[in-house]
Amino acid sequence: MNFQLSEEHEMIRKMVRDFARNEVAPTAAERDEEERFDREIFDKMAELGLTGIPWPEEYGGIGSDYLAYCIAVEELSRVCASTGVTLSAHTSLAGWPIYTFGTEEQKQKYLRPMAQGEKIGAYGLTEPGSGSDAGGMRTTARLEGDHYVLNGSKIFITNGGIADIYVVFAITDASQKHKGQTAFIVESDFPGFSVGKKEKKLGIRSSPTTEIIFEDCKVPVENVLGQVGEGFKVAMMTLDGGRNGIAAQAVGIAQGALDASIDYAKERVQFGKPIAAQQGIGFKLADMATSIEASRLLTYQAAWLESKGLPYGKESAMSKLFAGDTAMKVTTEAVQIFGGYGYTKDYPVERYMRDAKITQIYEGTQEIQRLVISRMVTK
């Protein structure tokens, strides 16, 4: 057993950390305030190869692994959770299913430009009436000659409106529940596709979240992803890995909040000494650091398992559950340590606290993670 990161992983961490500090952090608060996605940041990530970390070079990637990808999401989220999730949804939710289930042609046509950052990817599963019960979707896909006709809508789509390529799920056989769903690759300029309402959110405000609408949207049969009727499995397997990307985001958010808290606690003097040297705050910092380290280990373990081709669904649900709860707890403590200042926008910890909340909700609520884990440990 070896807990030391490889030279390649350390190099990627350093590169992303420098990039995050120099290019992402300076505008993070402003983009949050303005709810503004910055395409230039995404383009710079592409130049560094971050938009295709785990994909082989033949598909435009840099041929690294899921651990490197998690490290990148963590380092970005340490300064800006919105930028972290943009990369996470692009890679885990859109790139992964195309890499895993796509034909050679689909990989060249869609994965390659995504890996190179020329195109952005997104994933559409959730609907107004089906969130946790993903099997209960309503969107339909009807076969008509050489194309499917999609009707319905999806909500809460990360990268909605900025994405060019959407991996979406629809019912192709209403007589079956899970086995009647199919995955499709939909381009944003397909006729009948449109972007609906953009959500105004508590956190991750510079990551756009929108509705997407299909009105007799024509999707060529060659854009079926995987087998017809296999869509639910594609959706679930995609989320298995996606959840670990969210765990990495949560680790980054928590670490960012801890970094800020340590700096502040060392400087802030009350009762004649820095508050870091007072046990009430020192113990908080100790607990925060410990739970972050445990979250990081769970996250890296799941990423390592996936990179080795070993089962990782349970570990990924565990990492998301633990790291998401840790991020919420740590960021709340960070605001407490900053006191009144923490409650203002003069310091970043209120943003970290707002951003942390979503990690307990998306890619399966914490309650769904517990359901997944309990089913796996009892089967």
Catalytic machinery residues? 363
- Among 96-104, 124-132, 255-263, 348-356, which window interacts with ligand CAA (CB under 6 A)? 124-132
**Of 178, 198, 314, 329, which one interacts with ligand CAA (CB under 6 A)?**
178
362 binds ligand CAA (CB under 6 A): yes
Nearer to ligand CAA, 322 or 347 (CB): 322
Q: Which residues, in sequence order, are CB contacts of 112 under 8 Å at separation 6+?
A: 59, 60
Query: How many residues of this chain interact with ligand CAA, rule: CB under 6 A?
Result: 25
Tokens matching residue 241 = 């890995």
The single residue among 27, 44, 109, 135 that binds ligand CAA, judged by CB under 6 A, is 135
Question: Taking CB under 6 A as the rule, does residue 288 contact ligand CAA?
Answer: no
Burial class (CB in 10 A: 0-12, 13-18, 19+), 308: exposed
Query: With binding defined as CB under 6 A, does residue 166 bind ligand CAA?
Result: no
Q: At which residue do the structure tokens 């298995």 appear?
A: 240
Out of 24, 28, 70, 89, which residue is the one contacting ligand CAA (CB under 6 A)?
A: 89
Tell me how far, at minimum, the Cβ of 155 lies from ligand CAA, in Å.
10
Residue 241 makes contact with ligand CAA by CB under 6 A: no
- Least distance (Å) between residue 268 CB and ligand CAA: 36
Task: Give the C-alpha separation, 190 to 259, whole Å.
Answer: 45
Does the footprint of ligand CAA cover residue 244 (CB under 6 A)?
no
- Report the C-alpha gap between 54 and 121 in whole angstroms: 15
Q: Using CB under 6 A, which of the segments 50-58, 188-196, 293-301, 368-376 binds ligand CAA?
A: 368-376
Question: How many Cβ atoms are within 10 Å of 163's Cβ, its own excluded?
Answer: 28
3-state secondary structure 144-207: ECCEEEEEEEEEEEECCCCCCEEEEEEECCCCCCHHHEEEEEEECCCCCEEEEEECCCCCCCCC
Q: Does 228 bind ligand CAA (CB under 6 A)?
A: no
* 52 three-class SS: helix
Please select the residue that binds ligand CAA; options are 313, 324, 342, 348, rule is CB under 6 A: 313
277 contacts: CB under 8 Å, gap ≥ 6: none
- What distance in Å separates the CA atoms of residue 307 and residue 118, rounded to the nearest whole number? 25
Instruction: List the one residue from 37, 66, 123, 312 that touches ligand CAA (CB under 6 A).
Output: 123
The Cα 215–Cα 88 span in angstroms is 28
Does the footprint of ligand CAA cover residue 167 (CB under 6 A)?
no
Q: Among 236, 289, 297, 376, which residue sits at the site for ligand CAA (rule: CB under 6 A)?
A: 236
Interface ranges with ligand CAA (CB under 6 A): 89, 123, 125-126, 132-135, 156-158, 178, 232-233, 236-237, 239-240, 313, 362-364, 368, 371-372
